[in-house]
């Protein structure tokens, strides 16, 4: 019997020092409430059916993330799955239509399930597997390629709709993902991550007739990914970091005629082929604004289809090429599915996630803020400036670190802005969207340069008109929580009056040892292995500077977190208590890396709001005037 050596962490609330207390003099802004801002049921991971008549998507509601299908022209959705548990949307994957449009394949409860799109319960593939994922249909609508995980390492295999056989396709050392069968059924393109080079991604091919695999595109320390076949199977388009920005390239299946298609001077995030194979719908990252454009494959010219201060994602062409279906969100609009007319750019909204009580409230459209870090490096961020500022301001670093704060739906920030908080979301070094050199600027430098970027963000805020420098806070989740703790521990000027870390950490060695395999490899990609890079791990671990923390800290963590193990916050809380620091610490049973239960989200946001208000806002009711009372003397003083 295997015995876990991890420290047991129960569901609990702990504190050291007096806790934050609900302020009786503060009320939510008119029309706002925490239950309201958490009432939006997110629509995501949409997929257009092959005939263009229906859209499958995931709808996160009532603590479920089930699959639904709706008419592509709009209409009420039909529910396909019924017991699919809620999961962090950024890790979920779209349901996949069979080429004949009769079947949907998706992952549920750790395995691939198949559902008849015309009705019936989803059925798990009856294979002797511990886990299966990433279903990709073959042209016959019966066979499919799936990812299997022997010994936790994903490789590819083929099966059929009823799971009557299992043929392993890939066995090379490393991980395999994103299988893409060719339309003619002869090949499977996929992404391979070799064990001996964590900064390399290859695109490889499996010849289904012979079973032979080969590298199509790959080079040391080079990332190529997102392979997509042309409709006639003659080309594979893919994304590559062969220039300073992620661009689209194409290559023949035999490895010839590789060429760069786009050269936009900014990242292409994703794309899809037009039905006639002459154009690509591309999502272009313009400093956090993700625009929809179309690239002509012959001329290489890219023309705007839809742009603005928002984020378009998951573009899919209608079969006649007249429309592109997308998901769209912006800082004042939650994610929904839209249909874009390619010729006119007109958009038709197909789903409606925003409750009227929320849609009528005034919200802030943020602006870009640019400032210099301590070493002179230019840092860009997203700045929310409230209509009625309360003098307090927050730095809110994103997770990742290879992520980016853009013009997305961030309803908690809108709530804080409605309360009067100014919020700056810095895209610190290591963020995506600003070129490869900037993205790699925190390799072997976690918790050092990026912390200076957060401290410089505080300086930027303190210099804004109407901001009280003594009333600055910092909060973040995951890597943003890690930066929160490091910013409190490594700031000799003590810029922040408080901090909130949600499922963050402070000891990189401990986190590396206890996280899941994907996170461990992700960490090694950027800062190496502890045995080879011990000083980098120690330099990045602010738990060794806990004694320097002067400001109160709130820790929130889920007990089912496999990315940042709950023991990370437990270890930090123990260090804070040992140094007699003021902190509050709450754990939540059954919660992964990203809280899912409505009760948990409400409790966590309530604690965050109370904590920020307690330490950053002065009493809104003026103190009574001081009255000098006469001295009361003893009998010996009487005349």
pLDDT at 633: 43
Q: Are 58 and 335 in contact, with CB atoms under 8 Å apart?
A: no
How far, rounded to the nearest angstrom, does the alpha carbon of residue 553 sit from its chain's CA centroid? 24
Question: What 8-state DSSP symbol labels residue 637?
Answer: G
Please name which of 246, 326, 319, 333 lies closest in space to residue 293, comparing C-alpha atoms.
Answer: 326
Angle 55-283-301 from CA coordinates, rounded to 5°? 120
Neighbours of 369 (CB within 10 A): 20
From the list 544, 538, 537, 543, the residue with the least C-alpha distance to 555 is 543
| Domain chopping of the chain, boundaries | 43-271, 272-356, 362-616
- Superfamily of the domain at 43-271: TolB, C-terminal domain (2.120.10.30)
Whether the Cβ atoms of residue 431 and residue 404 lie closer than 8 Å to each other? yes
Contacts of 634 (CB under 8 A, 6+ apart): none
Contacts for 32-36: CB closer than 8 Å, 24+ residues apart: 32/361, 32/415, 32/418, 34/415, 34/602, 34/605, 34/606, 34/609, 35/602, 36/355, 36/357, 36/358
Residue-level pLDDT at 130 = 66
Q: Pick the closest to residue 240 from 203, 212, 215 (CA basis).
A: 203
Query: Cis peptide before 151, with omega less than 30 degrees from 0?
Result: no
Give the chain's residues under pLDDT 70. Answer: 1-5, 130, 620-639
pLDDT at 628: 54
SS3 call for 339: strand
CA–CA distance, 15 with 583 (Å, rounded to integer): 6
Q: What is the pLDDT of residue 129?
A: 72
pLDDT value, residue 638: 38
Give the span between the Cα atoms of 58 and 49, in whole angstroms: 14
Report the alpha-carbon distance of residue 239 to residue 595 in Å, rounded.
32
Rounded Cα–Cα distance for residues 466 and 498 (Å): 19
Distances from the Cα of 135 to the Cα of 13, 152, 158, 201, 224, angstroms: 41, 17, 9, 20, 21
CATH 3.40.50.1820 fits 362-616, yes or no: yes
The pLDDT value recorded for residue 625 is 53
Closest to 502 in 3D by CA, of 523, 520, 519, 480: 480
**Distances in whole angstroms, Cα of residue 84 to Cα of each of 104, 136, 171:** 14, 20, 31
| Cβ atoms within 10 Å of 244's Cβ, excluding its own | 15
Report how far residue 527's alpha carbon sits from residue 3's, in angstroms, rounded to the nearest whole number. Answer: 30
pLDDT tens for 105-118 read: 999 998 999 999 99
Q: pTM for the full model?
A: 0.94
Structure confidence at residue 624 (pLDDT): 47
């Amino acid at each position: 019997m295997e015995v876990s050596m991890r420290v047991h962490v129960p569901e609990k609330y702990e504190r050291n020092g007096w806790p934050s207390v609900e302020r009786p003099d503060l009320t939510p802004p008119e029309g706002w409430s925490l239950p309201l801002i958490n009432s939006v049921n997110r629509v995501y991971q949409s997929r257009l059916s092959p005939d263009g008549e229906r859209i499958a998507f995931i709808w996160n509601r009532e603590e479920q993330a089930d699959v639904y299908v709706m008419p592509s022209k709009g209409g009420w959705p039909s529910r396909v799955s019924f017991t699919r548990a809620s999961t962090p949307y950024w890790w979920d994957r779209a349901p996949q239509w069979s080429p004949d449009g009769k079947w949907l394949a998706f992952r549920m409860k750790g395995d691939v399930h198949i559902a008849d799109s015309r009705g019936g319960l989803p059925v798990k593939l009856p294979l002797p597997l511990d886990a299966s994922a990433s279903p990709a249909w073959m042209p016959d609508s019966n066979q499919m390629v799936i990812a299997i995980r022997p010994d936790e390492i994903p490789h590819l295999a083929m099966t059929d709709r009823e799971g009557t056989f299992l043929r392993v396709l890939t066995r090379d050392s490393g991980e395999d993902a994103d299988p893409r069968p060719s339309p003619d059924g002869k090949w499977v393109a996929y992404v391979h991550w070799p064990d001996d080079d964590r900064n390399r991604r290859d695109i490889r091919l499996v010849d289904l007739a012979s079973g032979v695999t080969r590298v199509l595109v790959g080079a040391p320390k080079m990332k190529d990914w997102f392979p997509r076949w042309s409709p006639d199977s003659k080309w594979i388009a893919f994304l590559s970091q062969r220039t300073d920005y992620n661009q689209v390239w194409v290559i023949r299946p035999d490895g010839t005629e590789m060429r760069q298609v786009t050269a936009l001077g900014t990242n292409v995030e994703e794309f899809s082929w037009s039905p006639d194979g002459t154009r690509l719908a591309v999502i272009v990252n313009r400093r956090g604004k993700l625009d929809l454009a179309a690239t002509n494959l012959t001329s290489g010219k890219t023309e705007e289809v839809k742009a603005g201060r928002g984020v378009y994602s998951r573009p899919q062409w209608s079969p006649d090429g007249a429309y592109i279906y997308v998901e769209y969100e912006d800082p004042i609009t939650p994610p929904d599915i839209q249909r874009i007319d390619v010729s006119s750019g007109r958009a038709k909204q197909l789903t409606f996630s925003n409750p009227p009580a929320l849609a009528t409230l005034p919200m802030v459209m943020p602006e870009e803020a640019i400032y210099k870090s301590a070493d002179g490096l230019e840092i860009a961020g997203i700045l929310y400036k409230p209509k009625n500022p309360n003098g307090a301001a927050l730095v809110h670093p994103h997770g990742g670190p290879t992520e980016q704060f853009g013009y997305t739906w961030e309803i908690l920030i809108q709530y804080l802005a409605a309360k009067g908080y100014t919020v700056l979301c810095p895209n610190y070094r290591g963020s995506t969207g600003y070129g490869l050199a900037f993205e790699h600027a925190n390799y072997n430098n976690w918790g050092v340069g990026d912390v200076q970027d957060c401290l410089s963000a505080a300086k930027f805020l303190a210099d804004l008109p109407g901001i009280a420098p003594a009333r600055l806070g910092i909060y973040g989740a995951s890597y943003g929580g890690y930066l929160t703790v490091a910013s409190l521990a490594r700031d000799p000027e003590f810029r922040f009056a408080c901090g909130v870390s949600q499922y963050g950490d402070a000891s990189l060695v401990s986190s590396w040892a206890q996280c899941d395999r994907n996170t461990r490899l992700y960490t090694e990609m950027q800062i190496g292995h502890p045995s080879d890079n011990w000083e980098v791990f120690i330099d990045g671990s602010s738990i060794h500077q806990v004694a320097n923390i002067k400001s109160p800290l709130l820790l929130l963590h889920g007990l089912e977190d496999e990315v940042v193990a709950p023991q990370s916050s437990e270890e930090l809380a123990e260090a804070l208590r040992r140094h007699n620091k003021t902190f509050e610490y709450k754990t939540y049973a059954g919660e992964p890396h990203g809280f899912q239960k409505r009760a948990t989200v409400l409790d966590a946001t309530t604690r965050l709001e109370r904590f920020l208000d307690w330490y950053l806002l002065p009493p809104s009711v003026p103190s009574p005037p001081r009255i000098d009372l006469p001295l009361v003397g003893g009998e010996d003083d009487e005349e």
